[in-house]
Amino acid sequence: MDTKNVITVIVVVVVVGLVGFLCLKMGEDKDSRIPSSYRPFGVSGKNPGQMKSPSGVALDVSGNIYVADTGNNRIQVYDSKTLKLLYSWGEDGSDVGQFDKPIALAFSKDGDLFVLDRQNSRIQKFSPDGKFISEIGSLGQETGQLAFPRGMYIDKDNFLYVADTENNRIQKFTLDGNFVFAFGEFGTGSGVFNHPEGVAVDSVGNIYVADTGNSRIQKFNSEGQFITQWGIKGTNKGEFMTPSALAVYFSNEQEFLYVVDSSNCTISKYTSGGEHKSEWGGKGNSDNQISAPASIFVTKDEDIYVADSGNDRIVKMTYWNMPDNIKINDKSSDNKSKDKNSSGIGEENNSNNTTTLVPQVDVKPDEAPPEKVEPKAKESKKDVKDKKSEEKTKTQTTTKSSSSSNDSGVTNVVPVPSAPIKNDGSFEEDEGGEEEDDSNSFSAPSKPKFNPKNQESVDF
């Protein structure tokens, strides 16, 4: 084999390996992507269908969108397809069915709606059509009492968790309002809080708390015992200023935690262990921007609804659905076939908030990837005859690249290595020291505590 062919094969091996590596890296985790579609709805105002500082959003089993229209002290319900207002209820006050800054929403398995009525320090329970059922909590420091709470969550077992913000604790209730337990106090160490505003629970009962004043997320077991924490104060990716709302998404393989940072105006996604996966947002009023986001709801299809409080609207964010011919790297399939290249969703494109797709690269075992070659001039019959005669006199044959000529005189050449390739990419010779002929195939390697006597109403 001549030097030119050796170099060609080495270049091909390096290029194929590099392409495969890039495909694997860019497609190794679809959960690192960011939404590709943003659909905001709502306009500022107090008329029906309009919004003023909406702070809570949730969907019922039919997909209807419920909004805590905080500044207007009412609940509004929209059709998820047409985004038209279906009905609403509520007014300013402290009687049952009235609100003073409704700030968070949650549905039980039975379809009842729970509304966190912040300035009234209570939770009201309604039927889906707005009929009052009961209430939980009252202003105070005792167990079962609340002090201007900001977040709540209903788990898969129908238990209600409340981020009792001014009491610096998390409380757990039955849906009938019976107190179960509480944990936390004011502080900066592990397991204590500084005005927690968000809470969420995963499928095995682990409790996640947005420890807002300490700019971090804390994770506890189902009994309220500290497990871990992550986050530092800052504005860079993976950092928090005021993490304020949480949502857990259950996927087929693992669970993820979505975090809303109201000051940084970002949505970020983490594994249940705190590994940062992706982040997007930014302050503004464009479709893909948000201002003072207050809550988040994630559907089973991982559609995301954010209460964009500063822009008086709700924003629906969706991921692009992958077509069948685009493959995402699956760790299980990697174990079965490690020598195959995979592809999937790549890194986010910061210039236009889109996602780059990398197609799968397949190299057949019986052929080398084609390469661009320069055209050769036709050989005369005499040159061919002389070359053949010259080859017969040699004691060792030399493999040549097969070529074919077209009418224009351009020859298309496909390089074929003349010796087997070792796993390390080198060539080996047979026992007789002769090189193999062109029948050989090429294979690419694969704050202080709350005192109700001194406490003033917190500005929203």
Q: What is the pLDDT of residue 13?
A: 65
From first CA to last CA, the distance across the chain in angstroms is 79
Would you tell me how many other CB atoms lie within 10 Å of the CB of residue 287? Answer: 13
| Chain centroid, CA 253 distance in Å | 14
Q: What is the pLDDT of residue 254?
A: 87
Q: What is the pLDDT of residue 320?
A: 81
Check residues 441 and 50 and name the one with the higher pLDDT: 50
Query: Strand 74-78 relative to strand 85-89: parallel, antiparallel, unpaired?
Result: antiparallel
What is the tens place of the pLDDT at every residue in 396-434? 444 444 443 444 443 333 343 444 444 444 444 444 444
Give 444's contacts (C-beta < 8 A, 6+ positions apart): 12, 13, 16, 17, 363, 368, 369
Q: What is the pLDDT of residue 32?
A: 87
Q: Which two tokens stand for residue 273?
A: 């262990």
Nearest to 70 by CA among 108, 44, 39, 96: 44
DSSP-assigned letters across all residues of 217-251: EEEE-TTS-EEEEE--BSSSTT-BS-EEEEEEEE-
Residue percentage of the chain with pLDDT more than 70? 65
Query: Strand 243-250 relative to strand 226-230: parallel, antiparallel, unpaired?
Result: unpaired
DSSP-assigned letters across all residues of 61-109: TT-PEEEEEGGGTEEEEE-TTT--EEEEE--BSSSTT-BSSEEEEEE-T
Check residues 310 and 452 and name the one with the higher pLDDT: 310
Average the pLDDT over 165-192 and give the result. 98
What is the tens place of the pLDDT at every residue in 354-372? 333 333 334 343 444 444 4
Q: What is the pLDDT of residue 131?
A: 97
Q: What is the pLDDT of residue 418?
A: 40
Asked if 131 and 112 count as a contact pair (C-beta separation under 8 A), the reply is no
Check residues 159 and 385 and name the one with the higher pLDDT: 159
Element (H, E) at 17: helix 3-26
Residue percentage of the chain with pLDDT more than 90? 61
What is the tens place of the pLDDT at every residue in 203-240? 999 999 999 999 999 999 999 999 999 999 999 999 99
pTM passes above 0.85: no
Give 299's contacts (C-beta < 8 A, 6+ positions apart): 59, 305
What is the tens place of the pLDDT at every residue in 72-131? 999 999 999 999 999 999 999 999 999 999 999 999 999 999 999 999 999 999 999 999
Asked if 106 and 152 count as a contact pair (C-beta separation under 8 A), the reply is yes
Q: Is the pLDDT of residue 253 over 50?
A: yes
